[in-house]
Amino acid sequence: MGVMTPAEASARLNARFDLLASGPRDGHARHRTLRAALDWSWSLLTPQEQSALAQCSVFKGTFTLDACHAVLHLPDQRGAWSLDVIQALVDKSLVARAPSKKTQRFRLYVSIAEYAAEKLGADAADAAARWRQHVMNHAAVLAAQMDTHRDADAVEELALEQENLIHMVRDAQIRNDASTALHAVLALDPLFSRRGPFDVHVTLLDAALELGERKGADVSLLARALEARGRIRQHRGRLDEGVADLARAYELATQAGDATSAGRSLAEMGSVQRRRGNNTEALSLFTRAMTLLAHLPDQRLCGRIHGELGILHKEQGELAEARAHYERALNMLRDAGDRRHEGRVIMDLGALHQEEGRMTEARTCFEGALKIHQAGGNKRFEALAWCDLGSLSLEEGRPADAETQLGRSVAILEEIGDRRTGARFEGILAAAHAALGKTQEATARFDHAEAELSRFGDVLFHCAVRVHRGQLDLAYQRAALLRGDETEARALTGRAQQRLQEGTRAGPAGEPSPSELSDDVRLAMRILRRNLKPTNRGGPELTVGPQCRWFQTPEGERVDLASRRTPARLLQLLVDKRVAEPGQALSPDALIAGGWPGERIGAEAALNRLHVTLATLRKLGLRSVLQRADDGYLLDARVPVTRSDA
């Protein structure tokens, strides 16, 4: 191989059987070419083994013994043939075991697969037809298990069939087989919808739909494929194209008498109108969908629509109505075993708790939903849960935790190709950067998020990001105060206040304000409003004396710590961290080491001392300032700290 570069060798792989034609000069003739080696191995196989290996070439990717039973037709076939024959091929290194968590799977190496395909000959068409039938039958079984208690296992099994199904779409294009192409791409939809990548998903849907339209495929299949593409186009920010697909899907589903598909299309169109702030149109579409489904036993879809109605009412500030729809949705989805959408509604219920100021209940909901989506391998919903947690942390004044959580959310959405949702969450991540004083990172992310949302036409989400951008104004305001430039600081505070007012500004013809239509806007306003308060001149602040021998609470009460050395030392550590790295927590170990320097204390006793001393500081007046984070303790980054020499 020394005479060819890797690129040259790669270019000749189509002739791989003759690539190593010379072989070692002193080697046996059967080793001088790959083809000769395979010819020799083939000659040692029994007729059944030869037939099995040849037919295994129709599999694309990995396969199971059940697949062999369905696809392989052998001479003198007996009941337990497949296990013996496949085991023999594995023992002879012609079939390889593939890594798999549960069912044993197998695969052929590329060269062996191509050689075996040559040997299949006239039986190729029949074997390929049996392969297609088996894959589609298996996909249908898995489809029935989606959004039930078997969802996680079904998605994992479907992921193992992904290579077979993608090849089936492409093979169907070559054969002009529209029905197979549409069935295969619809079988892939649950997997790609959960995990992406959305660009591959859309490409396959485009190909199958083009073939289906050209060949006059079954209208029900076309409707389902258009519905899937419309949904994914939304996530990629192509809202108008997505709505057009959904409208066409509804027409075809109605023509085919498929009420379930028609109801899904209406519900998806309702979601689009809700996100655009067209709440009257959204409610009409959801109502029409529920009417269509009234006589069908589809608890899962009805539960999802009730969840959407809950979001609609919550965004309009009608919290009691929202809660009623969420509770009804959860009952339906739990009865149906739909854990995926149950987790989605739990997140929405958490957002309702957050809007009501019930932060502990909100966090419980978000963390519970995150576990559901991680267990189910649903990457998109996992990203939504991380964003909810990050938004909650930001509202609670813990920007460092928010930055981590929101960063995970944005990274997942970038991975799966959900550009529209990614742009929304990038704006909140930018606010966390700004709260931590990372103005360059915040500016870059705000600029990108606003450009994307403007291009997608997401008016309400764009407004929410512009309000969040007030956090950047406040970051520059704090820097101006440190420079002693009060004029600039006042101007920046005024700019942040103007952004706050944007959320409450009614439309030109008296339309509702963004804050009346969107909980995303209200969230951004709540966070900015809370952060504006301590930055106003004369606003509440924490003042500490030399070595924290005393402090004055934000409420104005002076507390003497001269005789309380350990609380004073802990407060000094927390103040130093707050000034140096706002929003960053001190670990329990760091606090213990600084609070009891040089003392040898058991780990459990040390933690107990720390908890008691921190509780003392809270009782003395720091309850509203001293916070607990995932990695330790910190002083609220929104409350200014002033050191006094007196």
* 103-113 tens-digit pLDDT: 889 999 888 99
Q: Are residues 549 and 629 in the same domain?
A: yes
In whole angstroms, what is the distance from residue 628 CA to residue 634 CA? 7
Q: Are residues 607 and 512 in the same domain?
A: no
Q: What angle do CA 477, 479, 481 make, to 5 degrees?
A: 70
Determine how β-strand 542-544 pairs with β-strand 105-107.
unpaired
Total-model pTM: 0.69
In a domain, 378, yes or no: no
646, pLDDT greater than 70: no
Looking at the structure of the chain, the number of domains it has is 3
Looking at residue 12, what is its pLDDT?
A: 44
In a domain, 330, yes or no: no
393 with 412: CB under 8 angstroms?
no
CATH number at residue 604: 1.10.10.10
CA distances from 194 to 151, 311, 409, 412, 601 (A): 11, 21, 14, 11, 49
Q: Are residues 529 and 461 in the same domain?
A: yes
Q: Are residues 20 and 35 in the same domain?
A: yes
Model pLDDT for residues 229-286, shown as the tens digit of each residue: 999 888 777 878 989 999 999 999 999 999 999 999 999 999 888 877 788 899 999 9
Looking at residue 254, what is its pLDDT?
A: 95
458 with 518: CB under 8 angstroms?
no
Q: Which H/E stretch holds residue 105?
A: strand 105-107
64 with 104: CB under 8 angstroms?
yes
Looking at residue 20, what is its pLDDT?
A: 41
In a domain, 112, yes or no: yes
28, pLDDT greater than 80: no
Domain carrying residue 553: 542-643
Q: Are residues 13 and 97 in the same domain?
A: yes
Residues ≥6 apart with Cβ < 8 Å to 26: none
In a domain, 236, yes or no: no
534, pLDDT greater than 80: no
Q: Are residues 12 and 115 in the same domain?
A: yes
Using a pLDDT cut of 70, give the percent of the chain over it: 92
Q: Are residues 554 and 636 in the same domain?
A: yes
Q: Are residues 501 and 583 in the same domain?
A: no
Model pLDDT for residues 485-533, shown as the tens digit of each residue: 889 999 999 999 999 888 888 767 667 788 877 889 989 999 998 888 6
Q: Are residues 561 and 518 in the same domain?
A: no
pLDDT band at 454 (very low <50, low <70, confident <90, very high): confident
21, pLDDT greater than 50: no
